[in-house]
Amino acid sequence: MKPGIHPAYGPVVFRDRAANYAFLTRSTMTSDKTIDWEDGKTYPVVDVEISHVNHPFYTGTARVLDTAGRVERFERRYGRRGAN
């Protein structure tokens, strides 16, 4: 790797305020805000809107849309294209 062209890579806390959950990982993201972590050290904190704790895919609350039923309902209402 070329020196001097890559961003700094270090520990960062990502905090999901909606789920009241935070986790420490390494990232190139930075922030002016800091947080005192469980190990007694201070780390930059990045607030995120959604994480694996409350995302519908990971929590099992995701819904599958019935696109075939929607297409059939549209065709019944407005007719098939080129049916005239």
Q: Contact at 8 Å (CB) between 5 and 22?
A: no
Percent residues over pLDDT 70 in the chain: 79
Q: Please report where in the chains the tokens 């075939």 appear, as a residue.
A: 68
Ramachandran class of 49: left when φ > 0, alpha when ψ lies in -120 to 50, beta otherwise: alpha
- Can you tell me the mean pLDDT for 12-33? 91
Residue 42, pLDDT score? 96
- The strand pairing partners of 48, in sequence order, are 16
CA dist., res. 65 & res. 83, Å (int): 27
* Model pTM score: 0.62
